[in-house]
Structure 1
Amino acid sequence: MNIKSVYNKIVGSGNQEKIIKGVFWSFLGTLISKGFAFLALFLVARLLTVQDYGKLGLLQSYINTFTLFSLASFGVTATKYLAVYNNEDKKKASEIFSLTRIFVFGLSTLILILSYFFNDAICEYIVGDPKLKIEVLICSAAIYFSSLNGLQVGALAGLQNFKSISIVNIVNGVLSLPLIIASAYYYGIKGVVVSLAIVNFSIWICSAFLLKKELIKNQLYFTFKNLKQHFDTLYHFSLPSFLSSIMLAPVVLICNSFLIKYNTTGYYELGIYNAAFNFSQVGTILIGVMGQVFYPMAMQNFGKNNKKFNFFNINNSYIIGIIIFLPIISLPDLFASFYGVKYENQSMYYSVMYVGLSSIVIAQRQGIARNFAAGNFMWFSVFSNLVWAVSTIFSCYLLISKGSVGRSLAFFIGYITNTLLFIPFYINKKLIEKELLLSKEHLLLVLCIIASNLVFVFIDNIFLRIIISVISLIICLMIFKVWFKNYIKNG
């Protein structure tokens, strides 16, 4: 048997081939990008004071929030409609992508101009420190290029060119690690935000070049003609998608602002929370990989009776989330020790634990979120996320006196509340099959997660907790295996 036949046997064909190739390239790029970014922020946390790390986290949430405003979910729109129409209708695919490109450029430019004129107000009311004027201005440049890059990467995902996305992510990671660490060491917060602007500019250039090649290859083009007829697409998909996704970043920014305004040690507590939250970024490495690959495929397979695809579309992120975060919620003190002595305290431990629990809930919802988009239920998604936003902000306001622990617990409460309230809707609209949500296997998984959480609360011996964590992880994987077999057999 030669190498080519072995390769064909492993990779297979059809969806299997697309998934394996997509996962490989997405994993490679995302591992380097997110992995290096996590390592950079981890080292920066050791270089800066806890208070300065809190300020840096607030600036990052400012960048993330206004990048979402600039991008306005047009990256997701490009992904969906290029995936759907690239092979069926080149003209329609070109027109919709051209429209999204014009809107993103216009919104990004508008926000860049407004951020310059309202710099003082942003520093005072959003960032909470008038001394950070220059840093906020530099962040505005990072927002501009990050938005443009987001659209281009979304288009590459729609064309299922995960190799190009991988190259963009590799450039991101390779530039980020040395630039951020060196700038933090020599210039503190200001140096880090300058590095972020340089990195975002660089990856925008890279993704623009790669996207141009891919558009030419697929015979797609930029045009100003016949764009009005696609405004209906923007209303029914882009607008609700934007309103749905925009909930997250502003809620993060609002809760961060609560922390610095209503807690006497706000920046310190925010520094603790940001360090704890960095562990959730580890999960996004693999969850983001699977999401990039499964998103365009979910657009094409929604409503079809493909049992294997349905199971893995819903549960692939959930499996990854449990593998990564089950040990973290059992051993938060062990993971916190990586940051050094200044982060070894009860606030950090419980913040890490609640962040881990929230991350598992988020991972479980990823497949449902893809089906929201595939089934054109984006206006319902807006309402769902609004419920989450209100419950999270309200919880954070009530718990803000507890600092970073209250901040992380509020997000967990928001996600759990939203999930429980919308279970009937998910099933009724066939966003998820009942067997993939309300089953004895899922109940056992939930019990394992709860038990892992209680392990830290009631058992002090770290070696015993490590053993229990490994056993729990093995049990969870066995449950997933049984769940898959029963689901396929009963189908």
Structure 2
Amino acid sequence: MIPYLKKIIQHPFFTNSLWAIAGSFISKGINFASIAWIARILGPEMFGEYNVIQTTVGMFGTFSGLGLGLAATKLIAEFRDRDIIKVGRIISTLYLLSFLISFVVAIIFFSIAGLISNNLLNNDKLTLLLQITSVIVIFDAIAGVQNGVLSGFEAFKEITFIGIIVGIFSAPLLVFGTIYYGLTGLTVMLLVSRIINVVANRVYLNKKFKTHEVRVRPQINKDVLKSIFDIGIPSFLSGLSTSPVSWITTSIFVNQPLGYQSLGTYNTANQLRTLVLLLPDSAGKVTMPQLANAFGNEDIKKFKKIVVITFVWNLVLSVLPAVILFFFGGLFQNFFGDKFNLSSSLIAAVLATGILVALTNAVGYIFICSNLIWYDFILRIFWGIALIILILLYGRHNGAIGYAISILGASIVHMIAQGIVLLIKFKYKPNK
């Protein structure tokens, strides 16, 4: 028994998972504490406005990111043991592409911020704040590629340290900005936190490049563009079927009476879903490069083994925290204050959604790493259509709980659709 346990502990999946989980616990813990404080200061309505800003940034971030972070993870994991020169060309191309695309998207975002806030969000106070966050789009795109590169090298120890550094510096700044300058101060400090993240990533990446003798130059190498876009475009389209859909449903929701207040309440409860996904998402950061590496080396046995581990890992690591968090929902209410009405039904809906998302993410990893990413895109379209229909028919008329149940219903549709595809089409093995 002892030798078997020793073998498990020494396995890269286990050690990398520990680093990823440790980093997520610390960084997410710091983030949770700062969000709770910020929510108490802002109150439900302004916290709802803050969430709309975040959702809008996420939507434009989908366009600027173009799936390049995921492409970085898969391609670097696939080629790092075979062709380090090609890895350098891939990274060089990804860097320049991410900057150029995000710069154009940021200019468009800045230009139409007034149109979005006045005509679509029905809140002219958000114009300046959206213009400030347009710059965030650039730094998010760069950080996405940087994180993808680090994950491709399985540099989870470094990712952990970066998360801690960014959390320690950013959390006090966010709270400070909120206390003294309200939503405007919070928005400015969000931008500052993104800059800190990019700088920290760059420091650790330079060390990693030196260790692996990777040469990175700011240029686009045409020979790797096809490989990048073969992954990036489907990934981008998958994001296009989720992030903009979330923004559309949010826009519909906030245009109802007390919409911003209800959205603030929902997103407070939604922090529980973030906690449920903390461990599965951490494991996913390890799963992705290992699946891609096994696929690239045509190691079918290893690929199947990681697939099984991923399912079991995500199920256990989502159900256990969900059960614990449900029974301690009252304590969670105390973190955010009495202004937020977090009912047991709202908490249950959010936690159930977290479990389903953890499982659907596990299937998504397999599709992506098996060059079947188009399946992930098509299935997310089903999710998006279901969510919009549920919001229009039910969610927008029933406050925070209506919004939560609509998202839960869409997640159930997504899960069922994935199950059908797995039963009919997927063979659980790389097929080149």
Per the normalisation by structure 2, the TM-score is: 0.91
Partner Cα separation in structure 2 for residue 153 and residue 421 of structure 1: 30
Say whether residues 1:72 and 2:66 are aligned partners.
yes
Partner Cα separation in structure 1 for residue 44 and residue 415 of structure 2: 33
**1:247-284 CA deviation, whole Å, 9 max, x = no partner?**
222122111111111x2111111111111111111123
Find the counterpart in structure 1 of residue 367 from structure 2: 372
* TM-fit CA distance, 1:224: 6.8
* 1:24-423 alignment runs, 5 A limit: 24-223=18-217, 227-261=221-255, 263-302=256-295, 304-306=300-302, 308-329=305-326, 332-333=329-330, 335-344=332-341, 348-399=343-394, 400-423=396-419
CA contact (8 A) 1:149 1:207 kept: yes
SS of residue matched to 1:142: helix
Find the counterpart in structure 2 of residue 462 from structure 1: none
Q: Which amino acid aligns with 2:291?
A: A
CA contact (8 A) 2:254 2:263 kept: yes
* TM-fit CA distance, 1:241: 1.1
* TM-fit CA distance, 1:340: 2.1
Partner Cα separation in structure 1 for residue 150 and residue 226 of structure 2: 23
Structure 1 residue runs without a partner (length 5+): 1-5, 434-491
SS of residue matched to 1:135: helix
Q: Which amino acid aligns with 1:273?
A: Y
SS of residue matched to 1:305: helix
Structure 1 pair 126/157, CA: closer, same or farther in 2 (3 Å)? Answer: farther
Structure 1 pair 431/219, CA: closer, same or farther in 2 (3 Å)? Answer: farther
Which has the larger displacement, 74-83 or 88-97? 88-97
Q: Which amino acid aligns with 2:16?
A: G
Structure 2 residue runs without a partner (length 5+): none
Partner Cα separation in structure 2 for residue 138 and residue 32 of structure 1: 28
CA contact (8 A) 2:96 2:219 kept: no
Partner Cα separation in structure 1 for residue 139 and residue 315 of structure 2: 32
Structure 1 pair 140/226, CA: closer, same or farther in 2 (3 Å)? Answer: closer
SS of residue matched to 2:356: helix
Partner Cα separation in structure 1 for residue 103 and residue 181 of structure 2: 28
Which has the larger displacement, 372-381 or 127-136? 127-136
* TM-fit CA distance, 1:127: 4.2
Partner Cα separation in structure 2 for residue 159 and residue 93 of structure 1: 10
Which has the larger displacement, 157-166 or 129-138? 129-138
Q: Which amino acid aligns with 2:280?
A: I
Percent identity over the alignment is 23
Partner Cα separation in structure 1 for residue 122 and residue 169 of structure 2: 29
Q: Which amino acid aligns with 1:316?
A: W
Which has the larger displacement, 246-255 or 264-273? 246-255
Partner Cα separation in structure 1 for residue 268 and residue 204 of structure 2: 34
CA contact (8 A) 2:276 2:351 kept: no
* TM-fit CA distance, 1:122: 2.6
SS of residue matched to 1:343: coil
Which has the larger displacement, 176-185 or 305-314? 305-314
**1:291-336 CA deviation, whole Å, 9 max, x = no partner?**
1111101112357234653321222122111011124446645533
CA contact (8 A) 1:332 1:350 kept: no
Structure 1 pair 425/45, CA: closer, same or farther in 2 (3 Å)? Answer: same
Q: Which amino acid aligns with 2:419?
A: I
Find the counterpart in structure 1 of residue 14 from structure 2: 20
Partner Cα separation in structure 1 for residue 267 and residue 129 of structure 2: 18
Q: Which amino acid aligns with 1:293?
A: V
Per the normalisation by structure 1, the TM-score is: 0.81
Q: Which amino acid aligns with 1:183?
A: G
Please provide the CA RMSD for this pair: 2.3
Structure 1 pair 11/79, CA: closer, same or farther in 2 (3 Å)? Answer: farther
Q: Structure 1 segments of 4 or more deviating over 4 A?
A: 8-13, 223-226, 329-334
CA contact (8 A) 1:72 1:238 kept: yes
Partner Cα separation in structure 2 for residue 431 and residue 208 of structure 1: 39
Partner Cα separation in structure 2 for residue 203 and residue 398 of structure 1: 40
Partner Cα separation in structure 2 for residue 125 and residue 87 of structure 1: 52
* TM-fit CA distance, 1:223: 4.4
